[in-house]
Chain A
C-alpha cells in the first residue's frame, strides 16, 4: 500500500529524444506526486509536481501525465539534452506536506 513502483531502472536516449519514466502506486489516499532529479554526489531536488485534479502539467521541457483511474503517472522530457543525464525519482504522499515515499529511481543517460 505504501509502495511506489518506478520503471525503467535505466534509460539511454539520444540528444533530442523524449525519455519517458513511469510510476505506479497502490494507495488511493496519495494526492501529491512530485518528481525529483539527482545528480551524482548531490541530494535530489524537486523538478515538477502534480495533484490528481489535473491530468497533465508542463514546466519547460518537463511534463507529468497523470492517470488517476490507473493509479499511474509519468514524466516526459522533451528535446532531451546531455545535461538532463541524472537519476530521476517519482514520489507520492498523502497531502502536500505528508510523508513522501519514493520510487526506486531511473538513471537517465542522454547521449550527444
Chain B
C-alpha cells in the first residue's frame, strides 16, 4: 500500500516568501508528526496531531510556523516570511495509535521529506 507522501520533494524560495509543505499520511493513521532535520543534525520535533485532540505545537520555533490537519488526512505546514535558517528537510510521519495491544501501535512511518532551501 501507499506510504506517507510529501510534496514538494524540493523547494527553493527567496527569503521573505511564504511556503507551504504538504503531507499525505497512511490511510487510517490517527497520529501525524512534523519534524525538521537540518543538515547533519537530528530530528527536531515541530508539531503533533493526534485524532481530534488539540495539536501539540510545543516544537514550533516561531509564530512564522503553523500547521493544519484536515480530520485524519492531509496536513500542511506553512512557513511565513521564510528566513535562511529555515533551510532544512521537513519530515512528516504518521502512526497508528489504536492501542489495544496492537504491536504496530506507535511505529512512525516517515515520508522522504521536503527539502527547503531559502536563498
The chain A residues found within 8 Å of chain B, CB to CB, are 6, 32, 34, 36, 41-46, 49, 89, 93, 95-105, 107
Contact = CB atoms under 8 A, between A and B. Distances in A.
Given A102-B43, A102-B45, A46 B91 contact: no
B111 interface: yes
> Which 9 A-B pairs give the minimum distances between C-beta atoms?
A43-B110, A97-B97, A96-B106, A104-B42, A102-B43, A105-B42, A97-B106, A46-B107, A99-B48
Q: Is the interface of B mostly helix, strand, loop or mixed?
A: loop
A101 B42 CA distance: 10
Contacts of A97: 31, 50, 95-97, 99, 105-106
A95 B112 CA distance: 26
B108 A100 contact: yes
Nearest to A42: B112
B62 interface: no
Interface in B22-45: 31, 33, 35, 40-43, 45
Contacts of A104: 41-42
B14 interface: no
B108 A46 contact: yes
6 contacts: A41-B112, A43-B112, A46-B107, A97-B106, A103-B42, A104-B41
